[in-house]
Chains A and B, each alone.
Chain A
Amino acid sequence: MSEYIPHTPADIRALLEGVGLRDVEALFSDIPEEVRRRFRPLGLPRRDEDWVRRYLTGLSERSTGKGLVPFLGGGIYDHFVPAVVEYVLSLPELYTAYTPYQAEVSQGTLTWMFEYQTMICELTGMEVANSSMYDGATALAEAALMAHRTVGGKKVLVPRSLNPRVREVLATYAWGAGLKLVDVPYGDDGRLQLSEIPEGACALIVGQPNFFGVIEDLSGLKDQLGEAFLIVYVNPISLGVLAPPGSFGADVVVGEGQVLGLPPSFGGPLLGIFATRGEHLRRMPGRISGQTVDAEGKVGYVMAFQTREQHIRRERATSNICTNSALCALAATVYLAALGPGGLRRVALLSLERAHRLAEEVSSLPGYELAFSGPFFNEFALRCPDPMGAVKKLRRAGIAVLPPEEVEKAGLEGALLVAVTERRTEEELARFVSALKGGMG
């Protein structure tokens, strides 16, 4: 008997009696005999709790990477997570509930969803936000599909400076939906170079900042695009100091919300941010909480505009998404509430300042230079004569950076990508510089 299943042999007898069957095998008589005969077990014994705890703790300790100081970015960043975030995520009524289909017993979930939507609208400068997508990459892919549904046209303009993994997911979705990705190059400053908008374009995607950490100038882009969507893929922390994409006429703002209170988690679960303009509300995928009143006029919340969703509209739905990334959105809500406007700004400023301090120091080392002249946020591409050698030197100093082949995917050869957050201390910055200095001469 399992500790999670309460049925004793006596319970099973009583339940079977209620059903009018003699043994449990009879419960499965509707599964074809041939299918049951082919069944093979895994060969796994039952284990006690302490065994499982030790076994998985052992596996967790086998990853040597956990002890390294991360100057790693590429879409996932090591920001500080206040203890209150974990506290709230562990509240049982919040994490053991499901989608708030029954609003009257789900006011907790629906209320924080509404808070989250408000905060995301504030960060992005957009009018409406959904309550989460799986991750930034699929949020972007869904934004491209939405652009196609709205304005027609099958071409999506994608800068070479978009995060290559995000681009790969987008490419998979685009192939499925029959959309075509058209490359947009970047210049010596690392910023995108948009010359003309081809016939049949439904959207331009801009990373803010882009994969190389470079801050794009969004002004004028929407005018150039006309009907076609301006989709901005953001690092939400950067919005503590960068102007919201909504102020540049963005049609959709998407982004990876991991930075808002989630650990790196070996890449999942993540949080897909999705916000748009009010006029596009009915084409937006995902769940939305809306304010209403109860029978006595008291304020409450319900899932709004469910008629866009798959369980009602089936093949005509705006998306197939059902289960999303709710608990990760709760983390973001609590994170933003804990930091407040000043805290978010502080995180962005500290990351910005430390990244620039490090960039200045390492780019003055002989043979090292910044790959781009454009302004950057908390990540920069560093050209060097022997990137693999540099990675090894840093590793010996207990530091991890993005492998050069990851940077090459975005068309940049011979460079490292270095990310700095507010968590990187003076000592760690100094260690980084001296590691690269070591063995150079």
Chain B
Amino acid sequence: MKSGTIYDLGAPGRRAASLPPLTEPEQKILSLIPAEVRREEPPWLPEVSQPELVRHYLRLARLNYGVDSGFYPLGSCTMKYNPKLNEGLARLPGFAGLHPLLPEEEVQGALAVLWELSEYLKGIAGMPGISLQPAAGAHGELTGMLLFKRYFQDRGELERRVKILLPDSAHGTNPASAAMVGFRVVSIPSNERGTVDLQALEAALGEDVAGIMLTVPNTLGIFEEEILEVTELVHEAGGLCYFDGANLNAYLGRARPGDMGADVFHFNLHKTFSTPHGGGGPGAGPVTVSEPLVPYLPVPQVVKEGERFRLDYDRPKSIGRVHPYYGNFLVLVRALAYILTLGDEGLREVSVGAVLAANYLKEKLKKTYKLPYDRLCKHEFVLSGEGLGEVRTLDIAKRLIDYGFHPPTIYFPLIVKEALMIEPTETEPKEVLDAFAAAMERIAEEARREPRLLKEAPHAAPVRRLDEARAARQPVLRLPRP
């Protein structure tokens, strides 16, 4: 049976790239390697011509759905449009071609990018310190937890401050990040309004708490109205406040985490700042920090002296490096281009557009679907697929594919049964929002009249519904050698 991979194609001896010829006989060159570590058998790799290769990957691209294909309301992932200008800028030879270990005086332009972006991100967060090193949001979280740990170690409190509080509406990466540096995770329940229960928080706080990890707005898309009370309570108890910035699109250009009491805040440049998601990465997760945490930031820090930029390694209290160089530089270039293009006014339009689109869809869809937390939302909202007879949320999601849309995030957050988490972003015109709402309404109708249509969906995708259980039961994780 064909695997659909590039290994189906080609013939021995074909190749899709040309290289300079060898100038010495192969055996002579190979004799430079001791026999016991020499490779005897070549790796099994495809042998295809360039046209075969190009057609294969173009075919794979057509099996995929991206933001450029259509509406991609994947909640908490902020699948906004990726500006094409920025793609070209990231490929400039003066950026992409630079080796990271060139001397500082030879990379002044790249250091200028790092410095300038740092200044803007600090301004957007309203916080005095930054590191651009984290390669993704979860990497930023890990950096934040390491910063917490170093801070308490420096104060001699590490032994007793062992707990991290986590609202039950937190991102899944949060508890995993806290656990990676040895913190114990304690869950804080949400109240009936979908926000942190202050009484439960107070009860959980004490001398053994290192801090809290908050997602603002939370994964229900709800802003923590009592955010100042929350951070004040944590600070009074001697703890620190981590803010997950995955949902920054909700208040970009009109509020700053630093003004809400954040001690560490991570950006997801691949969400809020429009850098492409790349099929799963690379992203970038810079962290900004409050004054007390500045001494612990990763090394090096970029500093500006007159017109020159320099890397500062002399930071004795630093947690060290979390990246071997300076972070995902080409992602940072794209984010800087985005900020420069929008300016203050544009950044403000982002949050207006994102929040307006989410509330508009929410008001339309709550007539047909259950809305567990019926209130003003921010950039996203969570419906429940319950109450539509025998169909489940998974079936609704798969049926949306037939209507030409990417499904929303499903079964998350865990506190809503049969959750459908919808984030339209600011880059979708009203006509698309209306078309999506109409599809959702028709699907609800189909669920009552002809549930089989949903249960067997998708019908119009490149494949029918895939058997996920089989992939775990009979794992096939690579092609077997022929």
User: With A and B bound together, what is the CA distance between A94 and B66 in angstroms?
Assistant: 7
User: With A and B bound together, what is the CA distance between A60 and B30 in angstroms?
Assistant: 40
How many A residues, CB 8 Å from partner? 198
B30 cross-chain contacts in A, Cβ below 8 A: 241, 349
A243 touches B38 (CB 8 A): yes
A400 at the interface (CB under 8 A from B): yes
* Chain A stretch 168-219: residues in CB contact (< 8 A) with chain B: 168-169, 171-173, 175-178, 215-219
User: With A and B bound together, what is the CA distance between A92 and B141 in angstroms?
Assistant: 29
1/0 per residue, CB under 8 A from B, across A49-62: the answer is 10011011111111
B389 cross-chain contacts in A, Cβ below 8 A: none
Interface centre among B47, B253, B320, B471 (most CB of A within 10 A): B471
Residue of A nearest to B59 (CB): A108
Residue of B nearest to A131 (CB): B280
Residue of B nearest to A417 (CB): B101
What is the minimal beta-carbon distance from B68 to any residue of chain A, in angstroms?
A: 4
A328 at the interface (CB under 8 A from B): yes
Chain B contact residues (Cβ within 8 angstroms of A): what range? 35 or more
What is the minimal beta-carbon distance from A190 to any residue of chain B, in angstroms?
A: 13
B449 at the interface (CB under 8 A from A): no
Residue of B nearest to A248 (CB): B37
B465 touches A169 (CB 8 A): no
Q: Top 7 A-B pairs ranked by shortest CB distance?
A: A267-B325, A60-B94, A267-B100, A62-B109, A65-B106, A327-B278, A108-B64
Taking a contact as CB atoms closer than 8 A, the residue among A52, A178, A239, A314 that contacts B85 in the complex is A52
Interface centre among B20, B45, B123 (most CB of A within 10 A): B45
* Chain B stretch 396-412: residues in CB contact (< 8 A) with chain A: 397-398, 401, 406-407, 409, 412
A176 cross-chain contacts in B, Cβ below 8 A: 142, 145-146, 149, 180-182
A334 touches B341 (CB 8 A): no
User: With A and B bound together, what is the CA distance between A359 and B54 in angstroms?
Assistant: 39
B203 at the interface (CB under 8 A from A): no
Interface centre among B57, B112, B339 (most CB of A within 10 A): B57
What is the minimal beta-carbon distance from A330 to any residue of chain B, in angstroms?
A: 7
* Chain B stretch 335-388: residues in CB contact (< 8 A) with chain A: 336-337, 339-347, 349-353, 355-357, 359-360, 363-364, 376, 378
Interface centre among B69, B108, B430 (most CB of A within 10 A): B430
B135 touches A63 (CB 8 A): no
Taking a contact as CB atoms closer than 8 A, the residue among B37, B124, B176, B323 that contacts A243 in the complex is B37
Given contacts A84-B54, A102-B406, A108-B61, contact A95 B467 (CB under 8 A): no
Supply 13 A–B pairs (Cβ within 8 Å), ascending by A. A18-B360, A47-B340, A56-B89, A60-B95, A84-B53, A98-B279, A100-B279, A114-B477, A268-B282, A294-B467, A315-B185, A327-B276, A422-B20
A117 touches B477 (CB 8 A): yes
A342 at the interface (CB under 8 A from B): yes
B161 at the interface (CB under 8 A from A): no
Taking a contact as CB atoms closer than 8 A, the residue among A70, A108, A347 that contacts B60 in the complex is A108
